[in-house]
Structure 1
Amino acid sequence: MKKAHSLVKNCCEKSVFSKLHQRYAKDLHDFIYYKFGEEHNPKDKVQEAFLKLWENCKKIVPGKAKSYLFSVANNTTLNVIKHKKVVLNYELNFKQKNSDNQDPQFVLEEKEYLDKYQIAISNLTEEKRVAFLLNRVEGKKHKEIAEILGISKKAVEKRIYTALEQLRKEIEGI
């Protein structure tokens, strides 16, 4: 495949894209299935990864397509997991606080704050959001995050720092 595609500069050609799909779709599905399980819809993640590849086909050379696909599928799945955990934590905290007979004004303000927080989190770039949530929700250290994402520890620190800056700007009081 490398020799055939060494002259091809990107993945936009239909035959190149088709060959990439034939070659990597099953491996990508199995990777997501083995790593995260069936409940995270590995078929959907494969389709999302290939859609992302097609959207960015001019930027990706065929030799880098495999790692791009696996990174996108992995990160997409991690984002879904992190989002589910945030939602679950919110629901648990909300139920616990409502059962404490708290002041309704406080409960309303808290809900508004959490809504702002959710919107601010969704406004972060994927890279910042993943690093931030791995650190704050999962409690992972910068070094662990760097290993998971395949980037340097400094890059992780910068992503988390800039995510915090952006969140502080969007939400008063963090």
Structure 2
Amino acid sequence: MPKSLHENICDKLRFSKLYEKYAQTLSNILLYKYGHLLNPSDKVQEAFIKLWENCAKVTPETTKSYLYTTANNMMLNEVKHQKVVFKHQAVKPKDYTNESPEFVLRKKEFSKRFEDVLSKLKDEEREAFLLNKVDGKTHREIAEILGITKKVAEHRIYAAFKKLKTELEELN
């Protein structure tokens, strides 16, 4: 392995380039894994703060792994915290709408069914599918983000799509 030109990432310009490179994708991955209620963007910011605080210890080669691991651990801690919070409070849903009751019911049924089918997908299929269909990432970009080959990324996306189509086809 060639020796790195830089020992750490404490340079402001290098750090800002790392932020531009990884922040959005990391935020999206956390969003897909954990949902928007846990504020994945905040966790990404906190991960970058931790990276800056430990910039002398982190090499450029390990930066991506450090960020992803740190942000994921923060999300897991938040999930644990939310479990405690939900035990002590009841979340009251919005009780009014301008839509017809029939439409609201069908929408809820479809959303629940879609989420159920999406949750039954393998984690790697779900991540690849959402990166492609929601973020508009190419197969090559997904392969790079997830550390897999382009063919594996394509297979995961198509497998997820096929499962979703099969499971949701009966609703039409």
Q: TM-score range by the shorter chain?
A: 0.3 to 0.5
Q: What is the TM-score of this pair, normalised by structure 1?
A: 0.47
Q: What is the TM-score of this pair, normalised by structure 2?
A: 0.48
